[in-house]
Amino acid sequence: MRLNEPTNQEKIPFKAINWNNIEDMVDKLTFEKLTSQFWLDSRMVPSNDIQDWSKLSEKEQTLYNKVFAGLTLLDTLQSEDGIATIKQDAASQHEIAVLDNIMFMEAVHAKSYSTIFSTLCSPREITAVFDWADSNTFLQEKAHVIRDIYLNGTSLQRKAASVLLESFLFYSGFYTPLWYMGNGKMVNVAEIIRLIIRDESVHGAYIGHKFRLEFNNLALEEQEDLTDWVYKLTLNLYENEMQYAKELYNEIGWTENVRIFMQYNADKALMNLGIEPLFGVTAADVDPIVMNGLSTTTSNHDFFSQVGNGYLLSDVEVMKDEDYDY
């Protein structure tokens, strides 16, 4: 059928998104927040950490590579499956617009780790660590658990899984760069992680907000059943995450501190969902060096010059007539 050929069937009009007519103002506030803090890995400078990297032991470098490969896998899951399935249940065009922004930034996050790898590692080392991520039992387990919920769960279950992923499961990996940054090492790489954490904090809060709106419409018995389901999922993920942390951190002696950090962030994820915390861990219980790194403010918010340490925008030159000659 040609585009201009009439049909006997009445067409449903396609609606233009109207940002001046919004049911949930959180959509507009979140969209503006995310766009105001937009960044790209290509404008970061992890090469400034090459000297620090050369001073790390082989054991430390291996840990760095593994946590970043694991984070890459989780961001890939979120950008390919997670947000796409949550979009299916969006209540408005504005919510879809926010989720599109989140999905794009998850892809940026995944690519950012490759930027770090290509700066610090050889091609053979990169291949080896991605092979490790693709076969690690505990990493694959949490990815499969979350992905199964994305593909087969209800709208509320998908949102809960997403918040647990973004606000909890990432943090066993984030611990490493935050610790080194707090000790004055690998600070440019850690600046990328701080920007990622800044994004994830908004993502978790926004999807948690959408979860609560939908949750509040349930009958009391349904709310209790779903809360029990979330607690069971959290404990299941936590048990697997502890095994993952032991494999990563036992040799370097950080497992106990990482355990406390994971419990802290699991509770934060539950609070994003409006659910009572499980572990009762506060910021005071977490290594203060790592907590300092969790601050999602950066040193300079003038986007036209710099976003955080090392995030420099390119110089701009005025276009000339000959630039248009091909």
Radius of gyration of the chain (CA): 22
In angstroms, what CA-CA distances link 42 with 46, 79, 119?
Answer: 10, 19, 12
Q: How far is CA 161 from the centre of its chain?
A: 13
7-38 b/e (C-beta count within 10 Å ≥ 16 → b): eeeeeeeeeeeeeeebebebbeebbebbeebe
Task: Report the catalytic residues.
Answer: 113
Residues facing 306 on adjacent strands: 312
Alpha-carbon dihedral of residues 201, 203, 204, 208, nearest 10 degrees?
A: 140
* Among 68, 204, 217, 55, CA closest to 129: 68
Long-range contacts of 302-309, Cβ-Cβ distance < 8 Å, separation of 24 or more: 303/36, 307/37, 307/39, 307/195, 308/39, 308/191, 308/194, 308/195, 309/187, 309/188, 309/191
Residues facing 312 on adjacent strands: 306
Reading the block at residue 119, the tokens are: 């700066």
Asked if residues 245 and 262 have their Cβ atoms less than 8 Å apart, the reply is yes
Type of residue found at 65: N
